[in-house]
Every structure is written in C-alpha cells, then in structure tokens.
Amino acid sequence: MKKSVLNDPRVMYHSDKFPVQKTQAEPALQSQMQPRPDCGEASYVGTGKLLNRKALVTGADSGIGRAAAIAFAREGCDVAIQFVPGEEADAKEVKGYIEDEGRQAFLLPCDLRDEGAASWIVHETVDAFGGLDLLVLNSAMQVAIETLADLPIQQVEDTFKVNVISMFESVQAAQKHLLPGSSIITTTSSQSFDPSPQLLDYAATKSAISNLTVNLAQYFADKGVRVNAVSPGPVWTPLQLNKGQLPGQLPNFGQGSLIGRAGQPAELAHMYVYLASDDASFVTGQIYGINGGTNINL
C-alpha cells in the first residue's frame, strides 16, 4: 500500500490532555506554560505577501496575537506590539523574532482598560512607522465564573472595556490613517455563536465583536478598507491560565472539539495573513471559524 503524504489533523499538534498547572497571576505568561503554545516560531515561512506594510497587533506578546505578529514580520511587515505591563518578557521575544526578519518592531505596554490607551497605541504606531496599514484587534480578557452570583459587575465592565470598547476607540483613532487597501481584522470567538454559561461576560463581548465586524465592513466599504474577523475555538494560550477556565477543567481543554484536541496559535496565523493581504481583496464583512468544528451562525 502506498504511503500517505497526508497529515492527520487530530495528531498534528498536542493532542493529549494538558498537565495540571498552577493558575497564573495576571498577567499570565506564555513562557511559563506547559507545554508552551506553538505560535509558528519554528515553522512559519513567509512569501512576501505583506511587504513593507505597517501593522498594529493588540495582545501580540503571546498566543494568537503573537502568531499573527511573527507571521506578519515573515511576510515583510513592520509590527507594533501592544501588551499588558508585566508581559515584557514575552513581548521582547516577539520583538526579537520580528527584528530577525529585518523588520521594525515597536513595543506598546499599556492596559486597554485605561482611558485613552486604545487611541494612544494607534497614535504611537503611526508616529513610529509613519503610517498604519493593518489593524489587528486581538487583545482580550476572559475570566470564568461558577455562577451568575459570582460575577462581579466590575469584571463585566473590564471585560467590555478590553474586548469591545477599546476596539471602537482604536478604530476611531485609526480611520484617518487607513488608506484604500488597508485591512482591519478582529478576533471574535466560537463563544459568540455557542456561548458557555461560565463565560457569560466574555461570550457577550465576542457576540458584540462579531456584530461590530460586519457593521464596520459596511461603514468602511466605500473607503476601500476591508474589515473581517477570525473566530477561534479552544486555542492553547495564556488566556486559559489566567482564570480563563474553571478549576479542574484545564487538563481537558479542547478535548471536546470535533478534531478532538485544542488548537495551537500557529494554526490561525495564515488566516490573519490572508485577510491582511491582497489575496483577500474581495473579502469583507466575513467571520472565519478556526475552531475545531464549532458551527458559526451570526
């Protein structure tokens, strides 16, 4: 029988249960995770799809944002990296990967809950790079709760500030800099379409992001700016170790997906590149699920 050249998606990445590990204090660091997420550091190979473009990626120190930032740099893009203060170690690693490609990297430590922070990162990126072509709004807050009674209203406010309100502010600040051909990419979630009770506030923000993405695509259409979203499912990122899962649930994280495992950030990088590039010139107002099989219905 001829040997297959195909790869079984069920075992291409980490497919076992995750080891028990301590919940990290905020902010959680990718460097302390076991196993470390695969963000394409050793595998992503660029082909110049984003040559000389200038990008701002929020939450780019780790996880999905990190994978997108590394991929963008290997496609020829300069990248500004927003991250929460305390995540400098992870952010400096990403900066190194970007500069290894001969591209500019710019670190932007700030908490998106702070007033004016979301517009500040846009202004700083434009000042550093002389423009802005790609805006990737990926930063997120996720804290699981046992019951509705356990959900502090302050947490609800903070989650909406980071996940939704900062998006409005960043887009408002960026719109005058986005020329025809620019692209805005948001990160929503399968929680937008299939919410979990332990993630009431997080799921609500992701639903808002899905709606906002489709709406912004209409707003920016006559300006030549495309707006799309990536919708991850269970992906192994530091978000899960910073109270993102209920106690005891982490070992089984992602095991219930149709593929039978959690995803890795590297598996999403190509979609961000596609949506940022001219390959997606006829694509706007779309939400792409990379989630192990969760159905998407807006």
d(CA 182, CA 199): 33
CB contact set of 207 (below 8 Å; sequence gap of 6+): 191, 192, 193, 195
Name the band, by pLDDT with cuts 50, 70 and 90, for residue 298: low
Nearest 5°: the CA angle 95, 98, 101 is: 145
List, in order of start, the domains of the chain with CATH numbers. Answer: 49-290 (3.40.50.720)
Supply 88's token pair: 């400098």
Per the CB < 8 A criterion, the answer to whether 106 and 124 are in contact is: yes
Predicted local confidence at residue 297, as pLDDT: 73
Q: pLDDT by residue (tens digit) across 54-104?
A: 999 999 999 999 999 999 999 999 999 999 999 999 999 999 999 999 999
**pLDDT for residue 1:** 65
- The neighbour count for residue 5, using CB atoms within 10 Å, is 5
Positions of E strands within the chain: 54-58, 78-83, 105-109, 134-137, 183-187, 226-232, 287-290
- pTM, two decimals, is 0.96
Task: Give the SS3 label for residue 117.
Answer: helix
Q: What are the residue numbers of the active site?
A: 202
Side chain identity at 92, as an amino acid letter? K
Compute the distance between CA of residue 62 and CA of residue 139 in angstroms, rounded to an integer.
10
